[in-house]
A and B are shown apart, each in its own frame.
Chain A
Amino acid sequence: MALIPNIHKYLVTLLKLLLAALPSAKKTQGSHSLLNDYDLVSRSGGGHADVNSIELSQQQMVDVARYREVLAKSITSSIIFLLKHSRVVRTFHNFYILNIVKKDVLFFELISKLLVDNNGVLLGLRLFNQDIALLLSTKNELAPLT
């Protein structure tokens, strides 16, 4: 598997993106880089100016918030998919240990250790320290075009 030698890079980038995309993130360098990404995506490689100097309209602000929500949701679900997959792989290869010799027995431990070392738990804590009811009732959707 080519996943295992590079898994630490992937997890670190995922967690960095998640840190920038979480709604509790303050205006740090991460959120700035996210805004720049959004700008690149929306303009499709046009004239890329500094986003912080441009005043975004209300519609664009809602779109940025929605973009961050989509990022956070997809990253958390992919992390949980990785964790579940590693569990399944581990039990599977323990079961058929006689047929398959060299496999990733401690894949789950590796992933969980990487997540904990890169403050994956603290990200969750930071999310749940704020008001969850407010988070669930925010509406970052635009009306459909008619």
Chain B
Amino acid sequence: MDPREQLQEHELAQAGKSETDINNIEDNFQTPIFVSWRNAHMSVDMLRIVQKLTKNKQGRMRILMEYKAPVLYFFSYVTYLSK
């Protein structure tokens, strides 16, 4: 089989797939997931406070390490490296 025809068939299959996906997404939009904006705002603010407090402060970042917060420690370390 000609590879170009194969490619065309593949593209057509992909297009069909994407159409069905879009339909599925539209179906999913009818029942949206609930997100409590208040808790989201609170957690984002908490992250910003922790980031502000531990920026360029080695001892404070060590507090994060001692209390086993690998994710938070990772983010503050990345911001420290990117400077």
Contacts and interface: CB of A to CB of B under 8 A. Distances in A.
A128 B49 CA distance: 13
17 contacts: A72-B42, A76-B46, A80-B52, A112-B53, A116-B53, A122-B67, A123-B46, A125-B72, A128-B47, A128-B71, A132-B43, A135-B36, A136-B36, A136-B43, A137-B35, A138-B36, A138-B39
A12 interface: no
B47 A124 contact: yes
Nearest to B69: A125
A137 B34 contact: yes
Interface of A: 23, 69-70, 72-73, 76-77, 79-80, 83, 112, 115-116, 120-125, 127-129, 132, 135-141
Contacts, number: 82
B52 A120 contact: no
A69 B35 CA distance: 14
Nearest to B52: A83
Contact of B53 (A120, A128, A132): A120
Contact of B39 (A123, A128, A136): A136
A140 B36 contact: yes
Contacts of A83: 49, 52
Interface in B28-78: 33-36, 38-43, 45-50, 52-54, 60, 63-64, 67, 69, 71-72
Given A73-B38, A76-B46, A80-B48, A125 B53 contact: no
B42 to A, nearest CB: 4
A72 B42 CA distance: 7
A79 B47 CA distance: 12
B38 A76 contact: no
A79 to B, nearest CB: 6
B40 A136 contact: yes
A76 B52 contact: no
A59 B10 CA distance: 56
